[in-house]
Amino acid sequence: MPSYRTPGVFIEEISSGPRPVAPSSTTDTGFVAMITLPKSVVPGRGRAEGMFLPGPDASPILAWNRALAFRSLADAAVDAAPTIDAAATDADGKAKKPAAPKAPTAGGDNRFNQIVHEFLNGAWTVSSPVKDPEAITLRSDAGNILRVPANRTLLSVKTAPDGSKAWDLAWGADEQKVVELISGRALAQDIPHKGDLPSVDAAGKPASIDPEAIHDRMHSTAPAITNMTGFEQWRRQFGGTLFQQILLDANKKLSTSQAEMIWATLPGTARDAWDRWLRSHPGFRRLEIALIGFFSNGGSTAYLACGVQTAGAGGPAKRAFLEKAFDGASAVAMVVAPGLDFSWQQAILEYAGPKGRGDIFAVLETPRFLATEAPRDVEVDDFRWSKGHGPYEMAKLEFLSEPSTGEMRFLGYSADEVLDRCTPRDDSGFGGTYGPWLIVENPLSTGAHDRYVVAPPGGHVVGLIAGTDLRAGGGVHKAPANEQMLGVSELVTNISDREQGPLNMKGINIIRHRPGGGIRIWGARTVAADPLWTYINVRRLFLFVERSVRDAVQWGVFLPNNDKTRMTLRETISSFLIRLYNEGMLDGGSWQESFTVKCDAENNPDVDVRSGLLTCDVSIRPVFPAEFIRIRFQQSAMRVE
């Protein structure tokens, strides 16, 4: 009680009863991505001096990514003339012999032949333009054959003094584009880059790094972005931090400030090369594609959590990773792991549910080859998940020249055992599974051969769910289905009505072509074992109400557990639910039928009050989607005049 001693006017603010409940976010989404690093790095030279570059990789895509990114750091000119270092003497005090001049590059003066020799392992022959003027055929001594289109802006026919004709670079051609042209054809046949890189010091000793330790130092609460410009800024910041951590791991003598200075003083070409390599990494490219799908379909805010692990290793503890990334981001309402394997899908479902945060909805993905046959170089288990791809469902990015669905159907996908175990399950429906995978435009396309890429559906799905919540006429109570999915050129396979039946009954939501409607999500079921939580909009509505009320009634903690506090709490929750009823989020002929809120002496006995426990029982009646519309026709009875 204030003391009133001096005469005057005193102003006090007192509680006016129920506090309004602020609706919580339902669209903020956490994205999980992983990148793999080799255990060793190689010192650079020339314009890459001071850098440690990723070592050669057995994976064709990572080998070509390394070559295409860091090739620009090679020395522009190499002086082949012998030189004598006047200060260099041998044991007898005589000047050392000059270094032998470099051997001429294979292919003579033909620069195209030189590029083929530099980038492809083994001996390769180039076809004559006389026999095939529309394309170039490259044949190796190992029996490999590459067909490269004769792009006349890059390649031209040169005539030798003896009259013979050969392919060579066109005048002013961009050599990087020529390499990209070759790499696209090589990746299609799993032919790796030769491994040599001019910007790498071949005589330098590789340095060991510990990707798991790097991950531990870098991992923190996930930052938020609201557009693709924000993603680009985050990627460059992440890349700079990763570069510095690799330096510290590779050279134990460096201090943190020295590593920061090396990064800050790198020339722009070196920083851009590092960013190109990081962006073209399979994990980062999938993240970028997922975010493009998220924002193009209506998503507003994304929280990015990217882990680092050793290639081929198990990676960080998944639950600890998710807790550190998202426990400090309370606004996150959905979480997705685009393109990651079954163990990651299971991890985000468990983290979303009661044994984790308990207030998140997990968007899961089906296996890449759930309904289609896997190619010969991909091995899948009994439940259609691929084997041996590290954290990814598919380590190899699948590029296409055109969006087509020519894959053969796997006829056993509808077996109960497959459908029960091809996706994680829970009791209360804290997640929903979506498939098949999508064919989208490749944001890093280098030509007609890789204009499209096969992508996981998670990013596009969470964007569509967020867009459904935010657009007029929508909301968290509306099933996120029968909405057109933007930014998708094709699906890897098309599922028919009859084929979808067993998938739908098992809670697998199918993305389909609809006549006259484009590509749409045609399902709204959770992975719940309990039929009370069959529908996604029901689960997400409860999560929305629970989060909103929980965050809004914190004022009641430590207040006296008496009738006044209970009445205020009851009125606070009731006013919020009345508003939801008026917006069509609850079912019932009147608001009295749509919910009940009980908070009085009956459900707060004296023993609970003395234990510091105040109970408020809330029952709400959600709206259910019209999943099956039944229209019954009947022939009218005959009229008797």
**Nearest CA to 355 among 304, 428, 305?**
428
Contacts of 187 (CB under 8 A, 6+ apart): 60, 61, 64, 399, 450
Residue 254 has pLDDT above 90, yes or no: yes
Beta strand segments in 177-314, E = 207-208, 224-225, 302-310
CA dihedral sign of residues 597, 602, 603, 604 = positive
Report residue 16's pLDDT band, with 50, 70 and 90 as the boundaries: low
Of the listed ranges 177-191, 372-386, 411-425, 471-485, the least confidently predicted one is: 177-191
- Mind listing the pLDDT tens digit for each residue in 447-473? 777 899 999 999 999 999 999 999 988
Of the listed ranges 6-15, 142-151, 253-262, 265-274, the least confidently predicted one is: 6-15
Contacts of 591 (CB under 8 A, 6+ apart): 577, 578, 581, 582
275-281 mean pLDDT = 93
Residue 80 has pLDDT above 80, yes or no: no
Q: Is the peptide bond before 436 cis (omega within 30 degrees of 0)?
A: yes
Locate all alpha helices (DSSP H) within 426-562, ordered by sequence: 458-470, 497-505, 536-552
Domain boundaries, the chain: 29-35+208-226+277-533, 104-177, 561-641
Q: What pLDDT does residue 546 have?
A: 95
- Mind listing the pLDDT tens digit for each residue in 294-350? 999 999 999 999 999 998 888 899 999 999 999 999 999 999 999 999 999 999 999
Q: Can you name the residues that pair with 525 across neighbouring β-strands?
A: 535
**pLDDT: which is higher, 131 or 229:** 229
43-58 as b/e: b if 16+ CB within 10 A: bbbebbeebbbbbbbe
- Mind listing the pLDDT tens digit for each residue in 350-391? 999 999 999 999 999 999 999 999 988 899 999 999 997 889
Highest mean predicted confidence (pLDDT) among 105-114, 139-148, 194-203, 480-489: 480-489
Highest mean predicted confidence (pLDDT) among 119-123, 567-571, 628-632: 567-571
Rounded Cα distance between 155 and 126, Å, is: 13
Residue 109 has pLDDT above 90, yes or no: no
Report residue 107's pLDDT band, with 50, 70 and 90 as the boundaries: low
pLDDT mean across residues, the chain: 89
Residue 570 has pLDDT above 70, yes or no: yes
Residue 401 has pLDDT above 60, yes or no: yes
2-9 mean pLDDT = 82
Contacts of 77 (CB under 8 A, 6+ apart): none
pTM of the model: 0.90
Residue 86 has pLDDT above 80, yes or no: no
Distance of CA 220 to the CA centre of its chain: 18
- DSSP for 551-582, written as a single string: HH-GGGTTS--SHHHHHHHHHHHHHHHHHHHH
Q: What pLDDT does residue 2 have?
A: 63
199-216 mean pLDDT = 91
476-497 mean pLDDT = 95
CA dihedral sign of residues 219, 311, 202, 48 = negative
Q: What pLDDT does residue 75 have?
A: 61
HSE-up of residue 492 (Cα within 13 Å, Cβ side): 26
202-219 mean pLDDT = 92
Residue 222 has pLDDT above 50, yes or no: yes
- In what order do the strands lie in the sheet containing 135-140? 124-126, 135-140, 145-149
551-568 mean pLDDT = 91
Phi, psi of 391 (to 5 degrees): -75, -10
Q: What pLDDT does residue 131 have?
A: 80
C-beta of residue 209 within 8 angstroms of C-beta of residue 82? no
- Mind listing the pLDDT tens digit for each residue in 41-63? 999 988 888 899 988 877 888 88
Structure-block tokens of residue 451? 């204009």
91-95 mean pLDDT = 47
Q: What pLDDT does residue 148 have?
A: 87
Quick one: what percent of the chain has pLDDT higher than 70? 94
Rounded Cα distance between 148 and 185, Å, is: 7
Structure-block tokens of residue 305? 């959590």
